[in-house]
Amino acid sequence: SFELIQPPSVSVSPGQTASITCSGDQLEHKYVCWYQQKPGQSPVRVIYQDDRRPSGIPERFSGSNSGNTACLTISETQAMDEADYYCQAWDGSTVVFGGGTKLTVL
Amino acid sequence: EVQLVESGGGLVQPGGSLRLSCTASGFTFSNYWMNWVRQAPGKGLEWVANIKQDGSEKDYVDSVKGRFTISRDNAKNSLYLQMNSLRAEDTAVYFCATLGGVWSGFDYWGQGTLVTVSS
C-alpha cells in the first residue's frame, strides 16, 4: 500500500529556514498537501496542490514536489511555527497522511 | 463563518457501537465532499472515510471497512459516522473535514470528538 514517510523531528533556530520532507513512491505524480497542528488544536492546511498557499497563510510557508520527495519549507522560522506537520496525498480515491514531523524552534 | 461541530463521542466497550455527527454551517454543505479523519492519543492523523456531495460515492480506510458507515443528510447539513464492532485501536479524536476542491486537501476541520473504546 502507498505510504508517506516523514522524519519524526526537525529542529531549527529562530530566523532560519526549516525543511520538512515527505517521501513516497513516484510522489511527483500526486498532489501533496501539508497541515500544521499545534497541541490541542485541529489541523490547519498550509499548502495544497504541492505549492499553493491558502489565503491567510504567511508567505514564509512554501512547498515543492519532485521525484519521490515533497518538501515543506518555512523561511525565517518563528517560535509560533513550532508544531506538528503532516503531509497528505491521494492513493486513488483514498487519502494517505504521513506520520508527522515535530518541528522544534530552539 | 464556516463551522463544523462534531458530537456523539464517548466511552464504549469493545464490540459496541457509536454514532458520530458533524453539523455544518457557514457554507453550502451539499457542494462538498466530506471526510472523517481520526487521531489516536499522541499519534498522527489517519483518514477514515469520505463521501461525495450526493452520497453516491463512499470510501473507507481498510481497517474500518465493514464496521464503519459514513452517511450525510444535506437537508440537515449533517455528516455521520456509524461505528460498529468497535475495537481498542479505534480510540481516537474523530474530526470531520471538508475537501476544499479537487486535489485541494482539507480546508476546514471541526474541533473533534473523542471516542474511547475500553472495558
pLDDT in tens, A48-96: 999 999 999 999 999 999 999 999 999 999 999 999 999 999 988 899 9
A54 contact residues in B (CB cutoff 8 A): 107
- In sequence order, what are the beta bridge partners of A73? A19, A62
Q: Could you give the C-alpha distances from A96 to A15, A76, A104, B49, B61, in angstroms and in order?
A: 31, 29, 24, 11, 9
pLDDT at A92: 87
Predicted confidence (pLDDT) at residue B8 exceeds the cutoff of 90: yes
Spatial distance between the Cα atoms of B70 and A51, rounded to a whole number of angstroms: 31
C-alpha cell at A56: 491567510
The predicted-structure confidence for A13-53, as pLDDT tens digits, reads as follows 999 999 999 999 999 999 999 999 999 999 999 999 999 99
Q: Is A57 on the interface with B (CB under 8 A)?
A: no
Q: How many Å lie between the alpha carbon of A93 and the closest alpha carbon of chain B? A: 7
Q: B59 and A93: CB-CB below 8 Å?
A: yes
B35 contact residues in A (CB cutoff 8 A): 95
Q: A97 and B47: CB-CB below 8 Å?
A: yes
A90 contact residues in B (CB cutoff 8 A): 103
pLDDT band at residue B40, thresholds of 50, 70 and 90? very high
C-alpha cell at A77: 522560522
Q: Best residue in A27, A48, A72, A95 to probe B by mutation, most B CBs within 10 Å?
A: A95
Predicted confidence (pLDDT) at residue B77 exceeds the cutoff of 90: yes
